[in-house]
Structure 1
Amino acid sequence: MYTAISRAEKITSIIEKRRPLAEKITGVESNLQALKSALKTLEENRDRIINQVDDAETVGRLREIDLATLQYKITEESKKLTVLRERFSRQTLNIGVVGLMGQGKSTLLKSLSGLTDNEIPALEGSACTAVRSTIVKPRP
């Protein structure tokens, strides 16, 4: 029973270590949103100034500033950060195992999870774990 407890503690530890990463990403997301908002304000001010200035060179230089592309890039990076934040916020641990048939993938999963052939079959000559398997902690 000791190994099952230490295994559960290890998994909990891994999940807990991800929490600060999720919190850090939340802070970066907030900073990016503030930056995007500031760029929008800057763009509005630029457009207002363009309409008030008579100097063609100044107007040309102001139009060269590509704020829309910066806002787009911020949006795209924010989407990527959202995916990472959601991943680091999960209360599950995903393990991927890849290999040829008969190389011990099922045995490895059984040793990690403490499950048996009933839950993770390892039959000679057939692909038992060729699909995604979800192992869920039983509720008390």
Structure 2
Amino acid sequence: MKKFFSFLILAFVTSAIALAQNNSEHMTFKGVPIDGTLNEFVDKMKQARFTYIGTHDGIAVLQGDFAGHKGCTIGVYTLKSSNKVNTIAVMFPPQKDWSSLESTYVSLKSMLTEKYGEPSECVEMFHDALQPDRDFEKFHKLKYKECTWDTTFR
């Protein structure tokens, strides 16, 4: 179950699509431009002290620290047609309660908004018409995939 909650934060962090912000400036992840081939990006991430875990179905997996959180899992995705890196996803270590998850989410969203501007997409909702009031109810909804918290920066 711990693994399950670590992947739920995946929805947040970043489907950071590496489209050029202008002709020469790309988004970066930990100072590494989000561009080039998968192997080139992985090599740069290794130099930035991330541990390469492996590649599965064209997705490179690394581990390291991100935004003050230790032991994050990083997924690096490419465009299938060109093997160019276009998406970085961060899975944070498991959290045990809604307030911790929400605090992490809000903090990271604020940090990325400051860096990249307003998100291109943002969905933060519980799927039921009846909205939960208490943290344990919200956490329960999350556990059973009855909510969506997803922010994308382009």
Sort the TM-score into its range (normalised by shorter chain).
0.3 to 0.5
Which is strand-richer, 1 or 2? 2
Which is helix-richer, 1 or 2? 1
Higher radius of gyration, 1 or 2: 1
